[in-house]
Amino acid sequence: MIHRPFKQVDVFTATAYLGNALAVVLDGQGLTDAQMQNFARWTNLSETTFLLPPTLEAAAAGADYQVRIFAPGYEMPFAGHPTLGSCHAWLQAGGVPRDPARVVQQCKAGLVAISRTPEAAAPGGHRLAFAAPPLVRRAPTPELGAALAGALGLHARQILAAQHLCNGPQHFGFLVDDAATVLALEPDVAALGRLLPQYGISGVGLAAVASEPAAPGLIGRSNREARAFGGSAPAAAQPADTPTVEVRFFFSTGPQITEDPVTGSFNASMAQWLIAEGHAPSHYTAAQGACLGVEGRVHIAQDASGQVWVGGDVVTCVDGQVLL
Provide the CATH topology of domain 3-130+312-323.
Answer: Diaminopimelate Epimerase; Chain A, domain 1 (3.10.310)
Per-residue pLDDT tens over the stretch 127-167: 999 999 999 999 999 999 999 999 999 999 999 999 999 99
Quick one: residue 312, left, alpha or beta (phi over 0 = left, psi -120 to 50 = alpha)? beta
Higher pLDDT, 77 or 225: 77
pLDDT of res. 98: 95
Whole-prediction pTM: 0.89
Per-residue pLDDT tens over the stretch 7-23: 999 999 999 999 999 99
How many whole angstroms separate alpha carbon 209 and alpha carbon 163? Answer: 16
Per-residue pLDDT tens over the stretch 282-321: 999 999 999 999 999 999 999 999 999 999 999 999 999 9
Per-residue pLDDT tens over the stretch 72-110: 999 999 999 999 999 999 999 999 999 988 999 999 999
pLDDT of res. 240: 63
CB 126 within 8 A of CB 118: yes
The percent of residues above 90 in pLDDT, for the chain, comes to 83
CB 206 within 8 A of CB 172: no
Task: Name the pLDDT band for 26 (thresholds 50, 70, 90).
Answer: very high
Name every residue whose Cβ is closer than 8 Å to that of residue 194 and which is 6 or more positions away in sequence: none
pLDDT of res. 271: 98
CATH number of 136-303: 3.10.310.10
DSSP E strand boundaries for 41-182: 48-52, 65-70, 75-76, 102-107, 110-118, 126-131, 136-138, 159-166, 170-176
Out of 59-63, 220-224, 261-265, pick the least confident.
220-224
How many whole angstroms separate alpha carbon 324 and alpha carbon 322? Answer: 6
What mean pLDDT is reported for the chain?
Answer: 90
Q: Could you state, in order of their start, the residue ranges of all structural domains in the chain?
A: 3-130+312-323, 136-303
